[in-house]
Each structure stands twice: as structure tokens, then as C-alpha cells.
Amino acid sequence: MKKRIFSGMQPTGQLHLGNYLGALRNWVKLQKDYECFYGVMDLHAITLPQDPKTLARNTRETAAAFYAAGIDPSQCAVYPQSAVLEHTYLQWLLANHTPLGWLNRMTQFKEKSAGIHKSFIKNIKPISDLSGEEKERINQKIQELEPFMKIVVDGGSIIDVEANLGLFAYPVLMAADILIYKATHVPVGEDQKQHLELSRDVAGAFNRHYGVEYFPIPEPQILGEAARVMSLRDGTKKMSKSDESDYSRINLTDDADAIKKKFQKAKTDPLPCPSAVEEFKQRPEIENLFTIYAALADKSAKDVVAEFSGKQLSAFKNALADLAIARLEPITKRMRELMQDEAEIDRLINKSLERARALAAKHLAEVKDIIGLWRG
Ligand code: TRP
């Protein structure tokens, strides 16, 4: 069987170097050897509150980043998940092969609820005891979240936040995303491995029940070292769009000046360049910058350390800034152009959307026949 890739990314907006080196760059490489489907997962995004205008903008921005990074829409399908209705239909069919215990073992929905709970609880005090400003912040948050999840209050304090069905069933939709195209390989990061494992189990259960080998069991695609890019201000935190400081990240819309400044101002220690990768353990910021350099240069971190050993950090930072600009400028330039031209993004999306729709419809019809559902 021809190898087919599916992967997706949520439309969070403000894409950065971490998204590029951690995922997009690998996706671009895969398009040569595989038939690829890449989704902007807007249906997954709405498991948490989203502002409708922002969501629509972020969905276009994420698709734009795929194209700017080099994904070719005449070779691969790139489109918003919500544009292919078969994903959600198949989710229902697969839900019947997903015991609740499997979903209960998933850690991400618990972490997400716990994260929301934590964001409330800078203050464990009963809400009525809070100062005016803090009280207003908490009440606003409650208003935003209450239609989404249960906020459990006891003695006037928020003691828990319970996930909704969407967040709980999120991995079943993910299984449907993959299986609707009968994808054989799925490039995912560490945080999505558990969900992919569930997709494999669900595919197996469906096949066993109907006595078919219809769905391929999708394999995780681990590509070399997917660089884990950390904040430029704190080498122990992931680079993130939600960090308050813009100096913590390289955005995929930053121009050459911004990229240069951010690398020059990146937090480091007063020591010179490392002479061995073993030093990384004590120097997380240095590890991060050398990992970024290695990823951009397509070299191993060890070789980059050897190259700069004995030199001043400032010289390394300048070299890193130059390399980053050379590699990223075509991407960030294209990204800025596309963001000015919504019609062009939509044209690119429409170019591959029909291909995705046609394959998804063909597979769904086959699955309906297997189950004995009405096809008219
Ligand atoms: N859940 C993934 C994430 O947040 C995105 C995603 C949705 C996905 N469906 C997928 C990734 C299917 C791979 C395959 O990163």
C-alpha cells in the first residue's frame, strides 16, 4: 500500500520557530516521498473557548504558515479540518469502538482541565474574600468558561474544573482525522503519542468487530531529531505564543532586524562557548541556542559545539542570527505577504480541498457499507 501521511496542527495563531523546527520543517520533507494530508485542526481548537473572528484569522494564518514553510498545495492537501465533514461523521462511528476507560487514561484532557484550574487559583481563598481587581478577573473568567466546563465551587472557592465531552472525546476525533484518509503514518510530537496509540487501538477494534482489515494501523513517524525549541528568555520553558515577552520567541512573521535583535538579546550565561555537549545539562539557554543552530544548519549539536568551541558567545550569537535570517527570511517574507492577502490563502486552500473531500467521501461510503448504514 502506498504510504500516506496525516498530521495536523491547531490554529493557535502567532506561529513561531518552535512550530517550524518541531513540525512544519519535517512535514515539508515528507511531501517528497509520501502522499500527505495536513489539517488545520479548528474543530479541536473549539474544545476550549475561542473568539470567532480570531479563530477564523488564526486558521488562515496557520494554513499560510504551512505554505510559507514550503508545503506545496499541488502535491499535498492542506485545509481546515472543519471543511471536510467526514471527519466528524467518522468520529461518531469510531466512538462506538472506544471504551470510556481508554479515554480516561488519556493525560491531556486532565492536564488541560488542571491547567485551567491552576490559572484560576493564584488565590485559593473564597471568591468573596478577594480584592476588587482579582475578584473581577476571576468572575470574568468564570463567565467565559462556564458554558464550556463545570467549574466546581465549594465553600465559595473554585476547587476543580471538569472537562466537557468535546475535550474528553478529542482523541476519537483525532483517530477519525487519521483514519478517514486511511493514513499509514502520522508525524507527531511527544505530547501526541498517547493519542496516536489510542487511534491504533480504535482502528484495531473496528477491524476486529467487522472482521475486516479496512483501516491500516497508523504508525508514528519519528523524524530524526525534531528540535524542541525553548524560550529565548528561559531555557527551561518551551517557546510559546502565550509568553508575555515577544523577545522569548522568533515569530514566523518577524523580519530580519527583529530576528537579529532577538538572538543577540537572547539570555545566556557569562561563560564562553561550550567545548562539549555534556555542558548542556548545566546550561539550558546554551543548549537551546546550539540546538536551534544545529537544526537550522542540518548538523548535529555535537558538530556545532566543536565548530564554536573556545569562541566568544557573542560571535556564536551573531553566526546564529545570520544563519537564522538566511534560513527563515524567505519563509517569514512569504508569510507576511500571505497574511496581507486572504484571497490568496483561500485560493491555495481550495486547490487541495476537493482532493481531501473526495478521498474522505469515498472512504466514508466504504465504512458505511461495512457497518450496514443506509447509503440511499
Ligand atoms: N491534537 C494535535 C495537537 O494538538 C493536533 C491533531 C488533531 C492531530 N488531529 C490530528 C495531529 C491527527 C496528528 C494527527 O497537536
pLDDT at 226: 60
pLDDT at 192 over 70: yes
Going by their DSSP bridges, the two strands 219-220 and 185-186 should be labelled as parallel
Residue with the smallest CA separation from ligand 1 atom 6 is 8
Q: In this model, does residue 30 exceed pLDDT 60?
A: yes
Average pLDDT of the residues of the chain: 93
Tell me, in angstroms, the distance from the centre of ligand 1 to residue 187's CA. Answer: 9
User: Stretch 135-157: mean pLDDT, rounded?
Assistant: 89
Question: For the chain, where do the domains classified as CATH 3.40.50.620 start and end?
Answer: 3-102+166-228+342-371
3-102+166-228+342-371 topology per CATH: Rossmann fold (3.40.50)
Closest C-alpha to ligand 1, atom 15: 9
Å from CA of 88 to ligand 1 middle: 14
Q: Within its chain, how far is the Cα of 25 from the centroid?
A: 13
In terms of average pLDDT, the best of 9-18, 183-192, 355-364 is 355-364
Supply the pTM of this predicted model: 0.94
pLDDT band at 123 (very low <50, low <70, confident <90, very high): low
- Bridge partners, residue 78, by sequence: 38
Mutate to test the pocket of ligand 1, among 170, 185, 195, 196 (most ligand atoms within 8 A of CB): 195
Give me ligand 1 centre to Cα 291, in Å.
Answer: 25
Q: Using a pLDDT cut of 90, give the percent of the chain over it.
A: 82
Looking at residue 309, its pLDDT comes to 94
Q: What residues are in contact with ligand 1 under a 6 Å CB criterion? A: 6-10, 41, 44, 174, 177-178, 186, 188, 192
Active-site positions? 112, 238, 241
Per-residue pLDDT reduced to its tens digit, 72-114? 999 999 999 999 999 999 999 999 999 999 999 999 999 998 8
Checking if the pLDDT of 350 tops 60, the result is yes
Q: What is the pLDDT of residue 159?
A: 87
Beta carbons within 8 Å of 115's beta carbon, 6+ residues apart: none
More confident residue, 20 or 227: 20
As a three-state string, the secondary structure of the chain is CCCEEEEEECCCCCCEHHHHHHHHHHHHHHCCCCEEEEEECHHHHCCCCCCHHHHHHHHHHHHHHHHHHCCCCCCCEEEEHHHCCHHHHHHHHHHCCCCHHHHHCCCHHHHHHHHHHHHHCCCCCCHHHCCHHHHHHHHHHHHHHCCCCEEEEECCEEEEEECCHHHHHHHHHHHHHHHCCCCCEECCCHHHHHHHHHHHHHHHHHHHHHCCCCCCCCEECCCCCCCCCECCCCCCCECCCCCCCHHHCCECCCCHHHHHHHHHHCCCCCCCCCCCHHHHHHCHHHHHHHHHHHHHHCCCHHHHHHHHCCCCHHHHHHHHHHHHHHHHHHHHHHHHHHHCCHHHHHHHHHHHHHHHHHHHHHHHHHHHHHHCCCCC
- Which of 45, 65, 40, 21 has its CA nearest to residue 223? 21
Give the model's pLDDT for residue 230. 96
Higher pLDDT, 269 or 226: 269
CATH topology assigned to domain 253-338 = Tyrosyl-Transfer RNA Synthetase (1.10.240)
Nearest to 367 by CA among 178, 95, 89: 89
Please tell me which residue, 263 or 2, carries the higher pLDDT value.
Answer: 263
pLDDT in tens, 288-341: 999 999 999 999 999 999 999 999 999 999 999 999 999 999 999 999 999 999
Comma-separated ranges of CATH 1.10.240.10 domains in the chain = 253-338
pLDDT of residue 126: 84
Distance, CA of 18 to CA of 228 (rounded, Å): 7
Phi–psi pair at 28, nearest 5 degrees = -65, -45
Output the pLDDT for position 124. Answer: 65
